[in-house]
Chains A and B, each alone.
Chain A
């Protein structure tokens, strides 16, 4: 294994004009074109728009307006909070699930993966309305709580409702990369650590958890960015009281028809999310590099 492991990476890199490298580029071309046309170009338009007044003159007023308004800063903060809590929730529920999945047979694993992906097979709107029924005042959750003599708390139209709905959808995005990471861990590492005197918990904290960090990182990035930009589920489950960024982009664009301001809100979200994710990944990588001797 070790001998094979050494023959990877830089040793197989080829000169720029090597025919196989050109073939590789050709294979990636459709994806690159789609990204350039449908993502990068519109993003530039979005940025350009955000620096205009309604009449088309250059301005930084949209950003000044956003940053100067405590209400919008509160909305930004709340958006990041909900995204972060969803990420943490997915991690807390998803990690044990991924660990459980790892030990199962391929057949059971396929069924579990299907179970995990099942929320994604249903339309977002229908799924959210389903949660309205489940969490509503006459729903099963309230019923069970009432049966135990507990007055059901307000379960709908608040951050908790959005959190429940988002974790439900996002769980698969956390578990699948985690699975990939866990599967790459040499199965003899944990027995090796146990043989050296580590208990099950110590093995988890010192071996499994650090080695699955790439999967956690990937999962957390996907969940965080998808949640921060999600619209339908928060809108239905959160109602008018839960104010998140995408909702304001939507109202500015459709109700107020202030497209430049909508663009500015959207771009602030993109910048803040990207910045947080970059910082997070750097923090994690540095943490792993600093294995102190002794």
Chain B
């Protein structure tokens, strides 16, 4: 009698959740909010006052060098580390003090953390067992998720019998089968070789778009972050330096750290002249201010990526002499010595290549560069 009741409940929860997955995005769950979250480890504040809010279904990346506090932040979200201050909320519920096994988070670890003494099927079924899903429903869900992860026929194998990529997929399947509020990925691609890494991350993004689970990825790989994220939070020394869409992070870095950490950048010092203009080495250049426009006369710094710099003869912009040009295949690297120092431009391969020693003007669209106070 009792068994029958549970079974029916199990089937019902299964079908409702399927409808939930297909429902319109506004009904989606998985809104994570961090408010002033702090963590002190070994007397050092490794995460200081992190604020963050995700949209349901968003793919958000915590990007930063090792030791920046990104993994610590993720572990606090998962509940493996307790926060020393601040509030963590999921869909409006405060989970700051909730132990990890009572939060609904699917996590994929860097080492995958598959249970070596269990088969792939048992690994994937583990979370369902813990949720007391009846055997029949459990078996069906495991089968479905293994198929989704492309692991048909691997159910009976042990983790050590799988390749790195397959282990990664099994870990993902195990995290997703419990239909978590949030999917947490801790450097999940870093143990794979370069080609496989790109392929698997494309697969993960496609899967995430399809099922719409809010996802937090932790990585130190800026290219990976740019490629997969809806938004990126760039972290250093326990602080979020900038939280924005990949394009903004790349073209309009807010701080020196963000500018230097992601790709190559021209950092030009000048003086604000009001609005989105400033004076650099006697020339008037445009750039989008970070936050409020700096007051005229303030010391500012312009960040311009080499890809957005045009090298032309005449016109408005920063004038200088071509010091060096180099053919790099997809791009031509051109270094112009200006009054504000060297400016590097990455020209398209079919652009006119200026001769070394030629007098040129470097220009860019103001919306493609950022203006920050020094």
Interface on A for B, CB 8 Å cutoff? 1-3, 5-6, 186, 188-189, 191-199, 202, 206-207, 210-211, 288, 291, 293-294
Q: Given the complex, which residues of A lie within 8 Å of B155, measured CB to CB?
A: 293
Interface on B for A, CB 8 Å cutoff? 75, 78-80, 99-103, 105-107, 109-113, 115-119, 121-122, 125-127, 130-131, 135, 138-139, 155-156, 160, 162-164, 167, 174-175, 178, 191-193
User: Out of B109, B131, B160, which one reaches A197, CB within 8 Å?
Assistant: B131
**Apart from the given pairs A202-B130, A291-B117, A293-B119, 7 other A-B contacts in the complex at a CB distance below 8 Å:** A2-B163, A191-B100, A193-B126, A196-B127, A196-B178, A211-B116, A291-B119
Q: Given the complex, which residues of B lie within 8 Å of A206, measured CB to CB?
A: 126
- Looking at the assembled complex, report how far the CB atom of A110 sits from the nearest CB atom of chain B, in whole angstroms: 20
- B171 to chain A: closest residue by CB: A192
Inter-chain CA distance A202–B130, complex, in Å, is 9
Assess the B107–A197 pair: CB atoms within 8 A: no
Assess the A196–B135 pair: CB atoms within 8 A: no
Assess the A195–B138 pair: CB atoms within 8 A: no
Assess the A5–B160 pair: CB atoms within 8 A: yes
- Looking at the assembled complex, report how far the CB atom of B321 sits from the nearest CB atom of chain A, in whole angstroms: 50
Best-surrounded residue of B100, B155, B163, B164 (most CB of chain A within 10 A)? B100
Assess the B111–A186 pair: CB atoms within 8 A: yes
Assess the B139–A195 pair: CB atoms within 8 A: no
Assess the B122–A198 pair: CB atoms within 8 A: no
- Looking at the assembled complex, report how far the CB atom of A184 sits from the nearest CB atom of chain B, in whole angstroms: 10
- A197 to chain B: closest residue by CB: B130
User: Out of B78, B131, B174, which one reaches A191, CB within 8 Å?
Assistant: B78
Assess the A2–B191 pair: CB atoms within 8 A: yes
- B139 to chain A: closest residue by CB: A294
Inter-chain CA distance A196–B119, complex, in Å, is 16
Q: Given the complex, which residues of A lie within 8 Å of B164, measured CB to CB?
A: 2-3, 6
Q: Given the complex, which residues of B lie within 8 Å of A291, measured CB to CB?
A: 117-119, 122
- Looking at the assembled complex, report how far the CB atom of B25 sits from the nearest CB atom of chain A, in whole angstroms: 26
Q: Given the complex, which residues of A lie within 8 Å of B125, measured CB to CB?
A: 293-294
- Looking at the assembled complex, report how far the CB atom of A6 sits from the nearest CB atom of chain B, in whole angstroms: 7
Assess the B105–A293 pair: CB atoms within 8 A: no
Assess the B80–A293 pair: CB atoms within 8 A: no
Assess the A198–B101 pair: CB atoms within 8 A: yes
27 A–B contacts from the bound complex (CB under 8 Å):
A1-B111, A1-B191, A2-B111, A2-B191, A3-B191, A3-B193, A6-B160, A6-B164, A186-B113, A191-B78, A191-B107, A191-B113, A192-B107, A195-B80, A195-B100, A195-B103, A196-B126, A196-B130, A197-B131, A198-B101, A207-B115, A210-B117, A211-B116, A291-B119, A293-B121, A293-B155, A293-B156
Inter-chain CA distance A61–B106, complex, in Å, is 68
Assess the B112–A2 pair: CB atoms within 8 A: yes
Assess the B126–A198 pair: CB atoms within 8 A: yes
Assess the A211–B122 pair: CB atoms within 8 A: no
Q: Given the complex, which residues of B lie within 8 Å of A186, measured CB to CB?
A: 111, 113, 116
Q: Given the complex, which residues of A lie within 8 Å of B138, measured CB to CB?
A: 294
Q: Given the complex, which residues of A lie within 8 Å of B122, measured CB to CB?
A: 291, 293
Assess the B130–A198 pair: CB atoms within 8 A: yes
- Looking at the assembled complex, report how far the CB atom of A278 sits from the nearest CB atom of chain B, in whole angstroms: 22
Assess the A199–B135 pair: CB atoms within 8 A: no
Inter-chain CA distance A8–B79, complex, in Å, is 35
Assess the B160–A195 pair: CB atoms within 8 A: no
Shortest 8 CB-CB contacts between residues of A and residues of B: A197-B130, A196-B127, A192-B113, A188-B113, A2-B164, A194-B100, A195-B107, A188-B109
User: Out of A6, A195, A211, which one reaches B117, CB within 8 Å?
Assistant: A211
